[in-house]
Amino acid sequence: MEQAEIKNVLTIAGVDPSGGAGVLADVKTMSALGTYATGVIAALTAQNTRTVTGVLPVPAAFVAEQLETLFADVRIDAVKIGMLGSEDVMQAVAGSLVRHKAPKIVLDPVMVAKSGDRLMPDDAVAFFKENLLAVADVVTPNLPEASVLLGREVTEVSQMHEAARELWQMCGGKTAVVLKGGHAQGSVVHDVLYDGASFYDFTGARVDTKNTHGTGCALSSAIAALWARCDDLPRAVELARDYVAGAIQTSGRLSVGGGHGPVHHFARLEKCFL
């Protein structure tokens, strides 16, 4: 019996040397979920599990060159966009994706740090809304990021349906919204998918751990990889949440730094090699 062709998935994001977030985490996630991962580097960082000490943006022209060279040779079946940084890089990425008619674009709006600090100034947020939300097929904000995008506080589970609908409208009615509720209080984590026609609610038990570095990267990458494979967005979101939950639950087996540690991207594959 002939096996199905493996899908190629692209991540466009920054590099976290500790491997918990950014392109390295995306590549691990996409690989663990049975796709072939490709990556375009939009920024370099100096960081570990405790802190970020520096960010070095990649020139927009070189980001564009990476994309053009990749698309000239490799079929891309889905895309995940993470931290891009500057407006010129955002513009270069959006232009290339539109030009090459890239499919199944999942946008993770990296706007707010775990500390609560804003990572994107107001003028860049406006540019982000106009140029990147317009090209995405799915956007995956957490509650603080939804608050920035909407210009009002979204903190409670009871607000999530309304916020997801407003975000969908903000995106021009073509971009599905996966609103992540991990920042809300309670022992249950509630996420919402709204595709313009239906709400899909997903819940799961909150795991008591400090190893949550890069969970947003893992989820958005997992959605891109699984959507490339199954063509069913609600199912891809459901499976992506299951994957990330398992990666968080087994993260205690890792020993990476002394701060907010990474999740265990390859937990489900360990038994295959022993």
CB 14 within 8 A of CB 52: no
Q: Among 11, 35, 212, 250, which one carries the catalytic annotation?
A: 212
Is 258 one of the annotated active-site residues of the chain?
no
216 is catalytic: yes
Q: Which two tokens stand for residue 272?
A: 């295959």
From 85, 217, 250, 261, the catalytic residue: 217
Among candidates 83, 76, 92, 61, which has minimal Cα distance to 13?
Answer: 83
How far is the first Cα of the chain from the last one, in angstroms, to the nearest whole number? 27
Catalytic residue at 217? yes
* Given 45, 140, 215, 250, the catalytic residue: 215
Q: Which of 35, 214, 250, 261 is catalytic?
A: 214
Q: Which residues of the chain form beta strands (DSSP E)?
A: 8-15, 36-47, 52-57, 78-81, 105-107, 138-139, 176-180, 188-194, 199-205
Taken in order 31, 268, 80, 104, the sign of the CA dihedral is: positive
User: Does residue 212 have an active-site annotation?
Assistant: yes
Compute CA 134 distance to the chain's CA centroid, rounded to the nearest angstrom.
16
User: Any catalytic annotation for residue 214?
Assistant: yes
Catalytic residue, chosen from 14, 85, 181, 216, is 216
Q: Which amino acid is at 167?
A: L
Instruction: Choose, from 14, 180, 181, 250, the residue flagged as catalytic.
Output: 180
82 is catalytic: no
Q: Report the alpha-carbon distance of residue 125 to residue 131 in Å, rounded.
A: 10
3-state secondary structure (DSSP) of residue 138: strand
| Residues tagged active-site | 180, 212, 214-217
